[in-house]
Structure 1
Amino acid sequence: HSINLLSNTSGLQDDSLLGIVLFSIVTMLPCCVFLYVNGIMLFTLRSKAVFCETARYILLYNLLFAETVQLILSQVLFLLAADRVIMTYPLCGFLTQLANFTTTISPLTLVVMSVERYVAVCYPLRHADIVTVRNTDVAIILIWMFSFLNVLIQLLLLLELPFDNLLNVQVKGMCSSMSMFAGPISEAYNRAFTCFVFTSAGVTVISSYVGVAAAARSACADKGSAHKARNTLLLHLVQLGLSLSSTIYVPLLMTLSTIVTRVMFARIHNVVYLLIFIVPRCLSPLIYGLRDQSIRPVLMFNLCCRLRLSFVIVKSEVSSSA
């Protein structure tokens, strides 16, 4: 399926450099801000030994790293489509499969994080023996291997394509995972895999929430810890929903392009992209950082110090040039 979703939008743009810049800057500015925040958060999670030796912080780092890579890749693909850059199938395939690889990591990491919270509340005496750094590292390795296996299967399904002059074949329209489907088998596999991953993740997170809620009602449970774990699992469920929403991005744009005007489509396209791809990649990890009493002071210190340092550097450069 070769889908030119930006045909309506491209008709609105002037061929000049100014038109391209104005179209791209709407998403580029918030993306740069969120990348800065995510970078500080990643640095924070590696700045102290306690963060590197605690399972939930290791899992949070893995989640944040995957979502930061997703943010970069989605912005690159969006700018390439907005600037109407024509790509060959190998280049488009590399970018989309790398995006699929990191997209699968997020819900699977949320599953492990939910199970960790369930064990912490329901089996507090065994938590230290079950949720170790070694077991956490093994879980992360399995997540990455499972994600890589999905990419490998999708690449094998591309063997349906004729390989004559494949390096020179150009993708018609926007480069996305849908444009790389070689046929009905690839499309059916992608739908089945997405349904399996998100259904399994949803069932696991909901089951963990029910287990924690039941444990909170028991007399021997730590009420404060159980209440905090319930809120964390609700956040996991919201994150899972946000990750799932990214899978309907292309079909949603296809539907909108047929029922709204070109001007309205261009505006809706930017808003949908911001809400589905950019905001969730920063909002949820930032909430984690602000909620956690161990991360919050270190995160705020790093954010404030680096902003202050940037201001001092800019001020000194202005003074020296004057």
Structure 2
Amino acid sequence: MANSTALYSNITRVSVDSSKNAETVKTALIILLVLCFCIFLYFLTIILCVYFTTAHIRENTRYVLFVHMLINDTLYLVLGLTLLVAALYKVYLPVSLCYVLVTIVSISFRVTPYNLAVMALERYVAICYPLRHTELCTTQRSHAAIAVIWTVGLIPNVADLIALSSSVETTFFSLNVICSWASLLKAPVQNTMRSITLILSFTLVGLIIVYTYIRIMLVVQKLGSGKSSAFTAGKTVMLHAFQLLLCMTAFTSHFTEPYLKDYFAFLSVTNFLLFTCLPRFLSPLIYGIRDKVFRKYIKKLHSSAITSG
């Protein structure tokens, strides 16, 4: 009897310790995510300040697309982090509100690679057709491209809503759930449509980036100069490819998590941090801080701040 009591006590203690360790890991990961997001917001604020206070930058298609990507990534990170924390702490939300939030998150997730493809095409036109660049890449056209990007990103969610509405009763939307994509998955066709959309999206964007990179590097070989603008454009497109690769890695997590979640604690949080948030956290550094124009104005901004201080 004493041995049974001691064994039960040891099991209880181990269970409590494991629960405390899990809570500590969960809290540490959330703090790390919030810290990274704050650093991202700092660089985002500087870049937006330079963008909106400099007229000729606002009229440059490349920077219009870049700032749009940053704003879209910010929207994705804010809503994604909110849904992640709500799911971790089992906060229940109405299905209707959850569906709206998940829809915005999924659209903004797809908009990032679409935006990368358009940015790669802009660099391709600038290097391969320099005489037509000002004609083809105008501010109005860039705004039209952004509208097309969001429209294309919205179409799969419209189809998903139709599939969901035809599979459930209207009372389903008045229920409260822990908000996640899985909670809204009520018809097999939804998962099929989502997988096909992501595969086609990343394949098409990947082909566009590879094609533009090859064409730009052919121009670099003709010019025979490693310091040319074409060489710089080639490196920029390669960065687009790197960021797309990270986004594609996030996509594969949807297949691995169901099989590995029993072996690795907080696998979904780790995947979200490394493969979903990391590419977006790096955007201000990759495209903003390394850009000569932005770097020049950022130095001026800091100098004026120091002088006024």
The answer as to whether partners of 1:24 and 1:82 remain within 8 angstroms in 2 is no
The answer as to whether partners of 1:71 and 1:278 remain within 8 angstroms in 2 is yes
Q: Which runs of 4+ in 1 moved over 4 A?
A: 10-14, 17-23, 219-223, 300-309
Deviation, structure 1 residue 287: 1.5
Residue 93 of structure 2 aligns to a residue whose secondary structure is coil
Residue 6 of structure 1 corresponds to which residue in structure 2?
none
Residue 27 of structure 1 corresponds to which residue in structure 2?
33
Choose the corresponding residue for 1:104, options 91, 96, 110: 110
Deviation, structure 1 residue 183: 1.1
Residue 59 of structure 1 corresponds to which residue in structure 2?
65
TM-score by length of structure 2 reads: 0.84
Cα RMSD, aligned residues only:
2.9
Residue 232 of structure 2 corresponds to which residue in structure 1?
228
Distance in 2 (CA, whole Å) between partners of 1:88 and 1:243 is: 29
The answer as to whether partners of 2:164 and 2:186 remain within 8 angstroms in 1 is yes
Where relative contact order (Cα < 8 A, 6+ residues apart) is larger, the structure is 1
1:69 is the counterpart of 2:75: yes
Unaligned runs of 5+ in 1: 1-9, 313-322
The answer as to whether partners of 1:209 and 1:233 remain within 8 angstroms in 2 is yes
Distance in 1 (CA, whole Å) between partners of 2:25 and 2:189 is: 40
Residue 265 of structure 2 corresponds to which residue in structure 1?
265
The answer as to whether partners of 1:13 and 1:20 remain within 8 angstroms in 2 is no
The answer as to whether partners of 1:87 and 1:170 remain within 8 angstroms in 2 is yes
Residue 101 of structure 2 corresponds to which residue in structure 1?
95
The answer as to whether partners of 1:215 and 1:221 remain within 8 angstroms in 2 is no
Deviation, structure 1 residue 292: 1.0
Residue 214 to residue 187, structure 1, CA distance change in 2 (3 Å): same
1:251-300 per-residue CA deviation (whole Å, 9 max, x = no partner) reads 33322223x2xxx513x554333212322212123211122110113235
Distance in 1 (CA, whole Å) between partners of 2:231 and 2:127 is: 10
Residue 146 to residue 305, structure 1, CA distance change in 2 (3 Å): farther
The structure with more helix, counted as a fraction of residues: 2
Distance in 1 (CA, whole Å) between partners of 2:61 and 2:228 is: 20
1:80-114 per-residue CA deviation (whole Å, 9 max, x = no partner) reads 11212122322221111010111121111111111
1:214 is the counterpart of 2:218: yes
Residue 261 of structure 2 aligns to a residue whose secondary structure is helix
Distance in 2 (CA, whole Å) between partners of 1:12 and 1:92 is: 31
The percentage of aligned residue pairs carrying the same residue is 27
Residue 128 to residue 216, structure 1, CA distance change in 2 (3 Å): same
* Count of residues paired in the alignment: 292
Structure possessing the higher radius of gyration over alpha carbons:
2
Choose the corresponding residue for 2:55, options 39, 49, 65: 49
Residue 12 of structure 2 corresponds to which residue in structure 1?
none
Q: Counterparts of 1:146-295 in structure 2 under 5 Å?
A: 146-171=152-177, 175-219=179-223, 224-258=228-262, 260=263, 264-266=264-266, 268-295=267-294
The aligned amino acid for 1:242 is L
Residue 104 of structure 1 aligns to a residue whose secondary structure is helix
The aligned amino acid for 1:110 is L
Deviation, structure 1 residue 222: 9.2
